[in-house]
Structure formats: structure tokens, C-alpha cells
Structure 1
Amino acid sequence: MNYPGLILKLFAVSALLFSCKSENKEAASEKTVTAAAEAKAPAAKKKTIVFFGNSLTAAYGLDDPQQGFVGLIQKRIDSLDLNYKVINAGVSGETTSGGNSRIDWLLKQPLDVFVLELGGNDGLRGIPVSETKRNLQAILDKVHAKYPEAKLVLAGMQIPPNLGRKYASDFRAVYADVAKENNITLIPFLLEGVGGEARLNLPDGIHPTAEGHKILAENVWVIIKDLL
């Protein structure tokens, strides 16, 4: 029997097995390190969408504010796994003047998309259109100055001709004018398909029901989805 040859073969096999075990250990070690690194890696920080408005944004009259169009937008975003969180900054009864006073406090927090929904109460109170326009512009200026990279959206509003057709016409035109002058995204009419429809509004005839808010959410979504 060729003992020297056999010893050499056994040595070669042992060396090969040792090499394989070493490679497996190294591979396992690399996987462990990679897994640990991934576990420690922070999740991407969510971007922020702020809806700044009045009772429509605040979902006035609904038992659950999440049934309002802002809450429904958040649900849509979550269902699509988009990395955004929605902040509802709606205050019932807010006018553009009140919003202009409140915006400085809100801007203490960072934002990436700003949706301005104000003016409806101005129109119902007969506030001069020039004043409404001035306040909307002031709010947008403040947001842009603080967060110049933020995407701005203006929600258009219309009112019935109770105060005269000219006033209603001038009021409606304000939103298109402001959006064009600032080169920002416009939602032509937030209440499209809901305003004036009794079955989609609460008994006050002004604030949408939960079903009405579903339509508002669609009106908003078709405009802002491409911004996300």
C-alpha cells in the first residue's frame, strides 16, 4: 500500500474541507454583519403634507374627523405605501385673515407640501375680495419664504350669488389669479360635485357629509397625486 500517497490524499481532503468551512463561516459572518447594519439603519424620514384650512379641512360635523377628506387622503397615501404623513391644520370658522395670523406658528414645523384651503368664510361674510386675495398671498409668501422647496397647492372656492353675481364672480376668480401669479397648483373647486347637493351635505347645507367628503378627497387627490 502506498502510505505516503494515501496520507497526501487525506491531507488534501482535510485542507479542502477546512477551506469550505472557513468560507461558510465568512459568508455567515458577512450576512450577520449586513443584517445588523440593515436593522440599525433608520427608516427614511416621512415627508409632511399640511392641509391649512377652515371647517371643511377640519371635517366639521362628522363623528370621526378621519372621515373628512384630509383623513381619507392619508388613508390613500398609506394604501399606496407613499412616504408621507398628513397634518390636518383646519380650524372651523377660520378666515384668510385669521389664517394669516396663525400661519407663523404652524411654520415652526417643517413641511414638504402645503395645501391652502381658506376663503370660504370670507365669501359668506362678504369680506372684500381684495382683502381675501391679499391674505391668501401673504400666507403663501410666508410659506415660500420659510420653505422655498415646498410644493404649494391652492384649493379654489365658490359661493352662491347671495351677495350679488359680481361679488361671486370676482370671488371665484381670486383663486385662479393667485395660483397663476404664483405658478402653483390649483384645485379648481374643492366642493365640485358636492356644493349645492342636499344629500351630500349636513342640514346646514354648507358642510359635507361623510359621503360628500369622499368626493372632496377625490377632487384633491387627482390634483396632488402627481406632486407626491
Structure 2
Amino acid sequence: MRKLLNSTLIALAFFLSVNLSAAHAQTVKWDSVYRPGKYVEQVAKFKADPKSKKDIVFLGNSITAGTDWAKLLDLPQAKNRGISGDITFGVLDRLQDVIDGKPAKIFILIGINDISRNIPDSVILRNYKSMISRIRKGSKKTQIYFNTLLPVNSAFEKFKNHYGKDEHILWLNDEIRKFTSKNITVIDLYPNFTDQDKHLKAELTKDGLHLIPSGYQVWADFLKKSGYLN
């Protein structure tokens, strides 16, 4: 009888541990209303900046914000609309200002901070599609360039929330590569920045996430060589 009771208790404990683990996995918290500290300030600055239908807009987070695109590409009409720490929901909130300017081109790179904040891949993808739909509707002549996400490199041990989630980057990049229509061009940045282990090349980054000038030069050279700026 005692052996039966012990076996029952062990089985019950196992059942509870499995179900509690499953419940935890299903309730990972994520936040759609998070905005970085300087978000409001940056948005106001962008709104005050004169707009032209010749503008080439680079839209994204700190990876986009980290260079002077006009200088890097020798294109005075290039506008930097990157905000450090931004997520896809933040881009959607400020997208109308970009659309209202009816720029010639929009280059989008966003999503790695969503991944770090546990926003589900399906939600990130939905937000990508919302961006495309809204640009198409509000600025029909604007050419959309959608970049695949860059890899990360955990060896730097600085942005731990961004590391160890390569499967999310790979899944989203596969979905981005499926974006096909006459006014959308997919720019597959990812292969240009990966080392033999599929990590961000150490010589192109300062912290395993952000690029250094030589990294931006790789990006610029790829854009020019591929004819995306013509």
C-alpha cells in the first residue's frame, strides 16, 4: 500500500511540474507599448525635418540609427529614421509621418529588439505586413526595401537578451524573403554579415549586436553593388 501511495505521489508531482512548465512557456510576458526613453523626442525631431518626394528613408532601430546615411552613401536625400531600442510597434506608431512625406524609397530593418523582448515571431511578422500595407496604401509610388535581420554574436556577452535566439532570426528572415510584389524588394543582408558559425562577424561589431564603421561600409557597398540606390 505504501509503495502504491509513493508511486502515486511521484506521478502527481511529475504531472504538476510538467503542466506548470507548460503554463509558464505559454505565458511569457511581452509588451507592445514599450517605447525607448528618447522615442518622443526623436519622433518630434523627425516630424520637424523637411520632407521631399526624393527622400530615401532608412527606418529602424539603433542599427539603422548608428550611421550618417547621407554621408555614408553620398546621398544628400538619405534620411535616418532609426531610434535606438525601437520595436515594430514603435515603428508602426511613427510610420504615418514617413508615409506623409511620400518618399521615393523606404529601407526597413526592424525586429531584433522585438525578439529580445519575447514578442512572438507571428506578431512581428504581422507588424511587418502592416507596415507594407500602410505604405502601399498611403504612398503608392514609394519603393519598399525590406531587410533581413542581421545575426548577433554572443561571444561579446553584452546584450544577453538578444543572444541565444537565432532560430527566431532565421524564421523571420525566411518569412521576409517571401515578400514579393512589384513595389517590394527584399534585401538579404544576413549572409553578408555572418561568419562560418552563422554569427555576426566579430570584426564588424563592437558588442555582438551593433555595427562599427567597417560594418556599415559592408552594408553600403552591398546596397551600391546591388543597384538598390539607383
- 206-215 vs 46-55, which moves further: 46-55
Aligned amino acid, residue 200 of structure 1: L
1:49 matched to 2:41? The reply is: no
CA contact under 8 A between 1:156 and 1:176: conserved in structure 2? yes
- CA, structure 1 residues 201+153, in 2 after alignment: closer, same or farther (shift >3 Å)? same
Aligned amino acid, residue 116 of structure 2: L
Query: Which of 70, 82, 93 is the equivalent residue of 1:90?
Result: 82
Give 3-state SS (helix, strand or coil) of 1:101's partner: helix
Report what 1:143 is aligned to: 135
Give 3-state SS (helix, strand or coil) of 2:100's partner: coil
Identity, in percent, stands at 24
How far has the Cα of 1:222 moved from its partner?
2.9
| TM-score, with length taken from structure 2 | 0.63
Report what 2:165 is aligned to: 163
How far has the Cα of 1:187 moved from its partner?
0.8
Q: Which runs of 5+ in 2 are unaligned?
A: 1-51, 153-162
Give 3-state SS (helix, strand or coil) of 2:86's partner: coil
Q: Which has more helix, going by share of residues?
A: 1
Aligned amino acid, residue 218 of structure 1: D
CA contact under 8 A between 1:129 and 1:174: conserved in structure 2? no
CA contact under 8 A between 2:142 and 2:183: conserved in structure 1? no
How far has the Cα of 1:105 moved from its partner?
2.4
Q: Which has the larger radius of gyration?
A: 1
Alpha-carbon distance between aligned partners in 2 of 1:168 and 1:212, rounded to the nearest angstrom? 19
Aligned amino acid, residue 119 of structure 2: I
Report what 2:189 is aligned to: 189
**Residues 202-217 of structure 1 mapped to structure 2, 5 A cutoff:** 202=206, 204-217=207-220
How far has the Cα of 1:86 moved from its partner?
0.9
Q: How big is each residue's C-alpha offset from its partner over 1:82-124, in whole Å with a ceiling of 9 and x where there is no partner? A: xxx1111111111111111110122232311111111121223
How far has the Cα of 1:163 moved from its partner?
3.2
- CA, structure 1 residues 109+214, in 2 after alignment: closer, same or farther (shift >3 Å)? same
Q: How big is each residue's C-alpha offset from its partner over 1:163-189, in whole Å with a ceiling of 9 and x where there is no partner? A: 364x34322212112x22676211112
Report what 1:200 is aligned to: 204
How far has the Cα of 1:209 moved from its partner?
0.7
Size of the alignment, in residue pairs?
A: 165
Q: How big is each residue's C-alpha offset from its partner over 1:15-68, in whole Å with a ceiling of 9 and x where there is no partner? A: xxxxxxxxxxxxxxxxxxxxxxxxxxxxxx872111111111101xxxxx43xx
Alpha-carbon distance between aligned partners in 2 of 1:70 and 1:162, rounded to the nearest angstrom? 34
How far has the Cα of 1:133 moved from its partner?
0.8
Report what 1:219 is aligned to: 222
- Note the aligned Cα RMSD (angstroms): 2.6
